[in-house]
Amino acid sequence: MVVVSDSDGKSTEGDWQPLQTVAWSYGKVRLIDQTILPDRIEFVEFSQWRDVVEAIRNMIVRGAPAIGCTAALGMALGARSIIADSKHAFRARFIEIAEAFRGSRPTAVNLFWAVDRMIDLVDSTDGSIIDIKDALIDEALKMLDEDIETNRRMGAFGAALLPDNGAVLTHCNAGALATVGYGTALGVIRAAVEAGKEIRVFADETRPRLQGMKLTAWELARDGIDVTVIADNMAGMLMRRHRIDCVVVGADRIAANGDTANKIGTYSVAILARHHGIPFYVAAPFSTIDFDIECGDDIPIEERSSEEMTHMNGGRIMPEGVKCINPAFDVTPGSLVTAFITEKGVIEPPYLRTLRDAAQDKPDISSGPRLTIGR
């Protein structure tokens, strides 16, 4: 890993640039190190595919769409190092790289979608080994283009659901940092603001890693969008006082029936929203839907290190010898989801039918900005 630049995380009107979470830079994978935000912005570059696997596992990059695109770039990077005298030998080694990426994080289905897409490309590409390696890079870069365009489509569809003047609650970070750029849930908020709506955002702090406080609040403040951080246990009180008009969150995996895995705590927010009659929207690309999983009970839930619970800033905050658990995600039943905001439009219940119906028509992804620096 090579640190290529850093700053204090602050921006002024003159130097503001859109966030580019994932990119390809002169034969290396380039990421924003999200573990040190909001203290400073630091871009890191990886020249070895195994280091990209660790970057995903250690949450240097996080967020389902960003993980998928990073895995695709990492696999293209790994393919460059394969020495093989036949396509069969190349494919065998490439599958080993693919399995390493599959094992990096278990819940975000975009990761597995991206891995399978890269394997399918190898299987369908004729020509030399060099041709296959070049095609893999092109495919990964295409995914980056698609991600931004997909997010902007979601934003346009979702913006229409938000009030002209009102407050939105979001949980965890589903913004530019969780994608290649623009964001899913925050993309909806950004699009609404761009359309002239007066949107105020409440961002759950999102324990235990505080992605809402550290990442979502930083992103929105950077864009000049009104944001207030609240503790995770404050949402119900604000809803009861009619200070929240709707909830918009992202997703890491959506089952065929609409059951949705997202950051731990999302389920509680959905229950509160239903009790108070507040719309609960999930913004996610179609690659997040796993039609092979019938319901949320079958979604694998990642268990992360207990130190994320027991320690903060390197210091222990929990008594020695006390047990804790640390599931990174929970599952919100589809029955609590008002609608899914996707690049194909807003999808409403019954999800067993409507999600599959929407999947029949592939969206026409137009060319978007390619986050590439050199080749």
- Catalytic residue ranges: 252
What sign does the CA torsion over 308, 314, 318, 320 have?
Answer: positive
Helix (H, G, I), strand (E, B) or coil at 342: strand
CA-based nearest residue to 162, from 338, 333, 19:
338
For the chain, report the end-to-end CA distance as a whole number of angstroms.
18
How far is residue 120's CA from residue 107's CA, in Å, rounded to a whole number? 21
Helix (H, G, I), strand (E, B) or coil at 341: strand
Greatest C-alpha distance within the chain = 68
Write the CB contacts of 323 (distance below 8 Å, at least 6 apart in sequence).
none
Q: What are the backbone angles phi and psi of residue 138, rounded to the nearest 5°?
A: -60, -40
How far is residue 236's CA from residue 239's CA, in Å, rounded to a whole number? 5
Q: What is the CA radius of gyration of the chain?
A: 20
How far is residue 63's CA from residue 40's CA, in Å, rounded to a whole number? 19
How far is residue 88's CA from residue 92's CA, in Å, rounded to a whole number? 6
DSSP H or E run through 132:
helix 129-159
Q: 279 burial class (0-12, 13-18, 19+ CB within 10 angstroms)?
A: middle
